[in-house]
Amino acid sequence: MTYLLWGGKSATEHREMLEAAVEKEPVFANSDLYCLDRPGRHRRCMQKQRRVIELARELQVPRASVRAAVHDQLGTDLQDLMFLPNIRATFSEEQQAHWLPRAESWEVLGCYAQTELGHGSNVRALETTATYLPESDEFEIHSPTTTSTKWWPGALGRTANHAIVYARLILDGRDIGIHNFMVQIRDLETHRPLPGITVGDIGPKIGYNNQDNGFCRFDRVRIPRTNMAMKYATLSPAGEYTTLPARKVASYSSMTHVRVTIVVSSGLALSAACTIAVRYSAVRRQGFTSRGDGSEECVLDYAMQQHRLLPLVATSYAFHVSGQAMQRMAAGDDVEALHTASSGLKALCSRITSDGIEACRKACGGHGYLAVSGLPELLGNYIQNVTVEGENFVIAQQTTRGLLKQLARARAAALQGAHERPAAAAVAGREGDADYVHDLEGAVSARCTAQSAKDFLSPALQCEAYRQRAAWQLREVERELAEAEASGLPREDAWNAVGPDIIRASEAHCFHVLVRHFCDAVGELSRSARVSPAVAKALESCSCLFSLYWMQEGMGDFLQSGYLDVQQATMLRSAARGMLAVLRPDAVALVDAWGHSDHSLNSALGRHDGQVYEALYASAQGDVNPMNSEPVAPAFEESLKPMRSRL
């Protein structure tokens, strides 16, 4: 199973070799991580980044491979995730020839400065200005208001020396709209802020505190005209502006790239939380058994604990499968389809993963509240994903919008007597994921034929169920929008009024995609000789539990859509509960298969050797916990003793 998850035996062994090399390095030790303050965390993560570069050279492997073996957030991660991709996507070949070598050699260390104090998702309302000054052939970058302050860009606070700044292009007093500009913010030798730039860190966050998210204000800062990204928009020295239709799509390419990354990483993050919680639940004993011999019950044998954890184990595998599909899609050239798919899946996967990590923490009882459980750190670092690159309840709407456009095109083609489906039908990256738009009424009319709980174990039935709900939700949104507009509401106001159902339609479609991908992947593996029958069977059980559990959670939709009747709803619950018992014997093996090392989990509860209580006790000793570094705390002489003497 591990080889399947990580791309084969050779790739797995290479990954394990790099992880072992990283774990030998003192700078990568994490035993004191939970007791470091923010300056200490930033300093440590920069030390790690430097060693990553050195180690890659020593081992003669790509830097990205070593970085992947370091299971910690580094302050320069956005260099690869957003800064370099934005240069490649929006800067001309001549500009790339200038900037890419400098950035790849770490002379230019960048950040992506889009979000402002007053605006995030509404990019068109950003206030920072870039006014062209033809007499000097320069732009003047300016923050005209408090709310125009750049706020949240990662690495901006203390690390970056350049920023790709999104600002309003002003030509001859005319607002041309949002464009991106390369702006140097710190001196390359001293790292001090340049004149006219006020920059710093925005402060502690719930998590992800290795990253120096920052703020920046520009007081009429001058940059050369050639620092405007000019792959799809150009400005001559005379002030002549030209643009290409692809500019708008390209300007969002960096965000789309990050959304795909979030989908891909969601399965890995959720699997780490599941590994900690399942391993701990297999070790923990709580409550006496009915055997009467004084023995205590293994927590993982409680049906309620299985109900809390095993569906999340299955979900981590489902996310992994769809993440791979998203990567294949990102390698293609259908930007519109990628945007539509990545928007909804980013929102759904990040929400379920965030909630799932917290569910795993709660399932570990009181010990899960300790930082050394690893779960609070994992949760704090991950939950940023529900907001970054499109707040979930905003960005998920893009999936429904794309589906409605597809539906309109399908109907127009039908009216014209067309027999070929539009190329844009591959909304989620595979032909067929949104095929229901071509026969919406037929898809909605499907009804469950199950006559027993066993019938719900059919992958075909599960795929049909999610397809029917997705089609029904889309039809409902279309109907509600039409009724709202017929009542006199403008399109935007009608869209706002139907907002909650727009989100439901997005999630329904994305669940359909997840279930379909998982069922198809398991079916393909079962028919091939790539894995053993035992591995294929375990994956089949995960796929079945994933489909049935989330179908059960969305029971109201399946009843309201007419797919299920009340008796079948009872059968569904029984089928989902039965799958817990099927998965229980493989639970520990399924989380172990992800290959999370003790070093990467950094968890006293999730240790591979099961020595949970010894690890907890060790974490409280003075060599790790500074609160216990001396027998008497300074607070005694400062406060406790004077308090007592005054009684």
The amino acid sitting at 595 is G
Q: Is 220 left (phi over 0), alpha (psi -120 to 50) or beta?
A: left
- Which of 190, 17, 164 is closest to 81 using CA atoms? 164
Please list, in sequence order, all residues whose beta carbon lies within 8 angstroms of the beta carbon of residue 25, skipping any fewer than 6 positions away: 51, 55
CA end-to-end distance (rounded Å), the chain: 66
- The catalytically annotated residue of 19, 116, 389, 507 is 389
d(CA 483, CA 567): 33
d(CA 59, CA 25): 13
d(CA 207, CA 68): 20
- Angle between helix 459-486 and helix 397-415 axes, rounded to 10 deg: 90
CB count within 10 Å of CB 533 equals 9
d(CA 128, CA 145): 8
CB of 470 closer than 8 Å to CB of 509:
yes
d(CA 406, CA 470): 14
**Tokens 């909804």, located at residue:** 344
CB of 596 closer than 8 Å to CB of 269:
no
Concerning whether 389 is annotated as a catalytic residue, the answer is yes
> What is each CA distance from 320 to 4, 36, 71, 341, 543, in whole angstroms?
11, 32, 18, 15, 12
CB of 627 closer than 8 Å to CB of 370:
no
Active-site positions? 389
